[in-house]
A = this chain, B = another copy of it.
């Protein structure tokens, strides 16, 4: 029974659309949750979509479109299927932040023409938001919030709320502003409802408002919102003027995107790749790192080439190259992951770089010595050659310490100079550590060559 309610009859909708059963289709379709409407929309072919535009008003289509998440290059085509008037009206009826998201994916010409046909008020609202930089608070906020003055009763505030509710993106927080639109307080609908009608807003509002500034990074906004458990967060300029709000549903998307992004970078997929792409698109997303790795790998190869005479004399050394490089590469990735997550979570702020390095040095010493000792014993038992065993073990020991430090230092330094540390992706750190560890291994081998002969 739960199943029936959570899904919907896609087949029936297809059939009604194909048969152009206008009334029946609308009855079924408009009863769906807007996410399900969007899912249905995404499953249609062009011809069916065009029928749908005829079946739905621009207002109804706006609700569908608010929930549609297209691959970036698809918006252009889909929008071109509508008449310009229909498209402009649909955009005007969408929540302004969602409309801006769509417009950001279109040609400048197309955007300009929609804004010209659109009613003036909507066009002005949209234009205000269009110029904010991507990934800032400004780029994800909406201007459809409810703001009131503190100089009124709960009852009159409730009246304003009822009037403005249809247009506001959330009515669960009401923001209080002074005569020059500066944010001075906030009150939740919950507090409003349990307060007496005649109480003044100034008495029940909280004047300790947590806000974010319009240029703040969206990841930072997400962190604050998660920590404070807000459903919406006000966005202000440097003089505390209330510019907009960011709602929790957009923050959920931000958290998801940022996590996907960090994850992809750790794996060395240059851009977000998905199971939905065709092989050519996928290959394009993966090849850049592979080609960089190829060049870095050639460096490692030429490095090993320089130790050819050592290798000639002690060929058994070759067998342990992947072991040492692999362990150093992985240790570096571990340290990288902890540092990148730490930065993302804001743990960095509370600690000095020196303290973190001390911590990672300690960790490297423990993992390095443990792994080094185990390796020495294993190889000695297996090969019976104490010097080779000691060489491999000692190389692992030194490599792991350096790899741990490199894995932590590189993202921390990048963060200091304001580069996204996740760019120092897994394969990059891995290959750097491959090179360092190979150098250490063959360096020691050559230095103590006489023992192995």
**A positions within 8 Å CB-CB of B:** 1-2, 5-6, 31-33, 35, 67, 158, 161-162, 165-166, 171-172, 189-190, 193-194, 208-211, 213, 225-229, 231, 236, 238-240, 248-249, 251-253, 255-256, 259-260, 262-264, 266-269, 273-280, 282-283, 286-287, 289-291, 293-294, 297-298, 300-302, 304-305, 308, 311-312, 315-316, 318-327, 329-331, 333-334, 336-342, 345, 347-348, 351, 356, 359-363, 365-367, 370-371, 374-375, 378-379, 382, 400, 426-427, 430-431, 434, 438
Instruction: Check A365 against B279 for contact (C-beta < 8 Å).
Output: yes
Q: Within the complex, which residue of B2, B249, B266 is in contact with A213, where a contact is CB–CB below 8 Å?
A: B2
Q: State in angstroms the CA–CA spacing of A1 and B183 once bound together.
A: 11
Residues in chain B near residue A229, CB distance under 8 A: 35, 67, 249, 252
Q: Within the complex, which residue of B249, B282, B316 is in contact with A363, where a contact is CB–CB below 8 Å?
A: B282
Q: State in angstroms the CA–CA spacing of A113 and B210 once bound together.
A: 39
Q: Which of A225, A236, A267, A341 has the most CB of B within 10 A?
A: A267
Q: Which of A161, A251, A426 has the most CB of B within 10 A?
A: A426
Chain B: which residue is nearest A273 at the CB level?
A: B338
**How many identical subunits does the complex contain?**
2
Instruction: Check A341 against B260 for contact (C-beta < 8 Å).
Output: yes
Instruction: Check A162 against B319 for contact (C-beta < 8 Å).
Output: no
Residues in chain B near residue A262, CB distance under 8 A: 259, 263
Instruction: Check B308 against A323 for contact (C-beta < 8 Å).
Output: no
Q: State in angstroms the CA–CA spacing of A303 and B434 once bound together.
A: 20
Instruction: Check B6 against A210 for contact (C-beta < 8 Å).
Output: yes
Q: State in angstroms the CA–CA spacing of A367 and B323 once bound together.
A: 25
Residues in chain B near residue A371, CB distance under 8 A: 287, 290-291, 294
Instruction: Check A268 against B319 for contact (C-beta < 8 Å).
Output: no
Instruction: Check A366 against B236 for contact (C-beta < 8 Å).
Output: no
Q: Which of A33, A280, A318, A327 has the most CB of B within 10 A?
A: A318
Instruction: Check B301 against A336 for contact (C-beta < 8 Å).
Output: no
